[in-house]
């Protein structure tokens, strides 16, 4: 019964998964960029600091967190849809590892936001610039794994 439902809902589930991923990725690209400017240009305890903290908080809480959760929910629905994944291939495991790493990065960003909130950020704009490359690399692994399935 559940398998039949998942199979019939597959186009909708896949669509909602892709929409969730796009939203999540937008946040994963934008939040570290906000951190770059916050670390390099803003300082602490002023109006601009408060503005950046508000933007960072709302981006994480109201856009990124729901997008990550819905990405996982719809992704798990796809996993359990019969006939979608060939578990004898390597690509589902490569994708899973990259998604787990992406989730780790999301939580790392959440901890860094709390550092800014507490006024204890010690990382430089350069650190955030370098970390901003991680979601791109993970996205490449995920998309190539799912579309090209080279392994």
Mean pLDDT of 63-86: 97
Question: How would residue 39 be classed by pLDDT, with cut points 50, 70 and 90?
Answer: very high
Number of domains composing the chain: 1
pLDDT at 72: 98
Question: How would residue 67 be classed by pLDDT, with cut points 50, 70 and 90?
Answer: very high
Q: Say if residue 22's pLDDT is above 90.
A: yes
According to the 3-state scheme, what is the secondary structure of 9-62?
HHHHHHHHHHHHHHHHHHHHHHHHHHHHHHHHHHCCCCHHHHHHHHHHHHHHHH
Query: End-to-end CA distance of the chain, in Å?
Result: 32
Cα gap 43→150, rounded to integer Å? 47
Share above pLDDT 70 across residues of the chain, in percent, rounded to a whole number: 100
Q: Say if residue 149's pLDDT is above 90.
A: yes
Question: How would residue 43 be classed by pLDDT, with cut points 50, 70 and 90?
Answer: confident
Let me know: does 145 contact 95? Beta carbons within 8 Å: yes
Question: How would residue 124 be classed by pLDDT, with cut points 50, 70 and 90?
Answer: very high
pLDDT at 76: 98
- Structural domain range at position 120: 2-148
Cα gap 34→47, rounded to integer Å? 15
Mean pLDDT of 47-67: 98
Q: How buried is residue 127: exposed, middle or buried, by Cβ count under 10 Å (0-12/13-18/19+)?
A: middle
pLDDT at 32: 98
Across the chain, mean pLDDT equals: 97
């Amino acid at each position: 019964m559940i398998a039949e439902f998942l199979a019939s809902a597959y186009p909708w589930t896949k669509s909602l998964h892709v929409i969730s991923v796009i939203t999540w990725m937008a946040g994963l690209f934008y939040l570290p960029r906000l951190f770059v400017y916050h670390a390099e240009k803003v300082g602490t305890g002023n109006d601009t600091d408060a503005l950046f903290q508000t933007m960072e908080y709302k981006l994480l809480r109201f856009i990124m967190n729901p997008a990550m959760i819905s990405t996982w929910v719809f992704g798990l629905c796809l996993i359990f849809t019969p006939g979608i994944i060939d578990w004898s291939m390597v690509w589902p495991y490569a994708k899973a590892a990259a998604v787990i790493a992406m989730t780790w990065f999301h939580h790392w960003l959440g901890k860094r936001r709390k550092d800014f909130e507490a006024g204890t950020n010690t990382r430089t704009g350069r650190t955030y610039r370098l970390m901003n490359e991680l979601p791109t690399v993970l996205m490449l692994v995920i998309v190539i794994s799912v579309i090209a399935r080279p392994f």
